């Protein structure tokens, strides 16, 4: 008999394994250049990427910034742990050191940049005249606004000394090679970690419009900085981009396909709904419950047993008192409150951490549903306290850092 919990967990693990930087980096890394090579970068997967580089090239000099708890041993590359999603002094200091390191490169040298999701907050080098406190205030306001990651990063780029192509520009006239892992809908290179090594097509005016549209209350220094010439980011005409190349080494779609194979092997028909689904987390969860109900009742969009698989990045707009949790837990609670019997699901962040707590996400299976019979799920959802709901019902998924990040993974089983 099919065990829904075992299958859902196996599908999630397959999605994570498909994005392992240790397997992806050696496939694209060229022979080590003869000149000076400096390895820099940041993000949730960047320590594992640095390890993989040194497994091929041997000890390297460089600096990579990762979230607290995500560090790994390396031979020569320095690994700095810093705060995420709101930047801290450790990340800011390391980012400024990184900037000075790449500025010292010359013709014939190479900057190998290891970029993954989370790098935007971790590589927090404020633009000239801005402080770390300014950056922290901006990040906190953006995270509570409900803005999609693409719009958050437009604002972040224009307040940074590294983002929006500025890291690459600082390395000129050296060559720049970037290895990147996508955690964003559509795999837009300029959005991953706010695109520190690729040209930026957004403008200062775009950043101002986003701030106004969401009614963000930001420090006066931010508005002042956005009025200066230095706030604009490097565009495609900058000479560094003629000497730059970028390799996308892992992306959400590949992970969804890996999970689909696990479902198929178990005799379940997989249906991938997309790797770029966005929207308010709980509302997307309700929609998924509706789609699953259609499959259960009418065989639409597919006949049971079926697995509805999706990725992307939902948002949580905090309107009332905020509890604990993240977008995956909130998605699954919204789903669980509407799901018919016999419909189960999992929602986890592939980096192993969902929002404010240390769970990867949550799972909705028969034993969790049984535990939830005496728990007021609607009250937890209203308080944005999905973590506490799943903690009370034994539905939390704990993995620890996975050392990769291809964004959220969701699978719904209709049996």
Last residue of a domain, one of 215, 250, 285: 250
Query: Are 204 and 280 in the same domain?
Result: no
Query: Are 267 and 371 in the same domain?
Result: yes
Closest CA to 408 of 182, 249, 191, 246: 182
Mean pLDDT of 377-391: 96
Query: Are 305 and 281 in the same domain?
Result: yes
CATH code assigned at 270: 3.40.1480.10
Q: Say how far apart CA 141 and CA 228 lie, in whole Å.
A: 22
Average pLDDT, the chain: 95
What's residue 112's pLDDT? 98
Question: Token pair of 179, please?
Answer: 């290895």
Last residue of a domain, one of 191, 218, 250: 250
State which residues form the domain around 69.
21-250
Question: Token pair of 384, please?
Answer: 């944005």
Last residue of a domain, one of 221, 250, 279: 250
Query: Are 140 and 279 in the same domain?
Result: no
Residue 39 DSSP code:
E
Of residues 322 and 269, more confidence is placed in 269
Number of H helices, E strands in the chain: 16, 12
Query: Are 175 and 305 in the same domain?
Result: no
What's residue 320's pLDDT? 67
Query: Are 46 and 119 in the same domain?
Result: yes
Provide the pLDDT confidence category of residue 318 given band limits of 50, 70 and 90.
confident
327 touches 277 (CB < 8 A): no
Query: Are 150 and 184 in the same domain?
Result: yes
Query: Are 101 and 186 in the same domain?
Result: yes
Q: Say how far apart CA 9 and CA 5 lie, in whole Å.
A: 6
Mean pLDDT of 181-199: 93
What's residue 150's pLDDT? 84
Of residues 144 and 125, more confidence is placed in 125
Name the domain count of the chain.
2
Query: Are 268 and 185 in the same domain?
Result: no
Residue 14 CB: number of other CB atoms within 10 A?
20
Query: Are 213 and 64 in the same domain?
Result: yes
Provide the pLDDT confidence category of residue 88 given band limits of 50, 70 and 90.
very high
What's residue 321's pLDDT? 63
Residue 254 sits at φ, ψ, to 5 deg, of -65, -35
Query: Are 233 and 271 in the same domain?
Result: no
Query: Are 220 and 244 in the same domain?
Result: yes
CATH code assigned at 171: 3.40.50.10180
Helix (H, G, I), strand (E, B) or coil at 348: strand
């Amino acid at each position: 008999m099919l065990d829904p919990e075992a299958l859902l967990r196996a599908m999630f693990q397959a999605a994570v394994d498909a994005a392992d930087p240790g397997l992806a980096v050696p496939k694209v890394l060229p022979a080590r250049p003869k000149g000076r090579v400096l390895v820099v970068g940041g993000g949730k997967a960047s320590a594992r990427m640095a390890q993989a580089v040194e497994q091929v090239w041997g000890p390297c000099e460089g600096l990579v910034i990762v979230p607290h708890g995500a560090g790994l041993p390396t031979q020569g590359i320095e690994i700095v742990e810093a705060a995420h999603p709101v930047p801290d002094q450790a990340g800011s200091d390391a980012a400024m050191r990184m900037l000075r390191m790449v500025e010292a490169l010359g013709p014939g040298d190479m900057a190998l940049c290891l970029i993954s999701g989370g790098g935007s907050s971790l590589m927090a080098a404020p633009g000239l005249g801005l402080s770390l406190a300014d950056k922290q205030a901006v990040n906190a306001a953006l995270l509570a606004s409900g803005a999609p990651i693409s719009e958050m990063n437009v604002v972040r780029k224009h307040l940074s000394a590294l983002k929006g192509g500025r890291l690459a520009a600082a390395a000129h006239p050296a060559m720049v090679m970037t290895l990147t892992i996508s955690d964003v809908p559509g795999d837009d290179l300029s959005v991953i970690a706010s695109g520190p090594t690729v040209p930026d097509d957004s403008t200062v005016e775009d950043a101002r419009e986003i701030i106004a549209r969401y009614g963000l209350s930001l420090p006066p220094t931010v508005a002042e900085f956005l009025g200066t010439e230095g706030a604009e980011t490097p565009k495609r005409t900058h000479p560094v981009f003629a000497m730059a190349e970028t390799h996308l080494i892992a992306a959400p779609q590949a992970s969804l396909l890996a999970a689909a194979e696990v479902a198929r092997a178990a005799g379940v028909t997989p249906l991938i709904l997309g790797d770029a689904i966005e929207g308010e987390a709980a509302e997307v969860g309700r929609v998924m419950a509706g789609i699953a109900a259609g499959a259960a009742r009418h065989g639409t969009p597919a006949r049971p047993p079926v697995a509805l698989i999706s990725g992307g990045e939902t948002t949580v707009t905090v309107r009332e008192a905020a509890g604990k949790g993240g977008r995956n837990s909130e998605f699954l609670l919204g789903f669980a409150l509407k799901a018919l019997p016999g419909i189960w699901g999992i929602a986890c962040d592939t980096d192993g951490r969902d929002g404010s707590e240390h769970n990867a996400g949550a799972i909705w299976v028969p034993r969790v549903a049984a535990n939830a019979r005496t728990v007021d799920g609607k009250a937890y959802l209203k308080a944005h306290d999905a973590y506490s709901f799943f903690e009370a019902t034994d539905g939390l998924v704990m993995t620890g850092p996975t050392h990769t990040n291809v964004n959220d993974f969701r699978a719904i089983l209709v049996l």
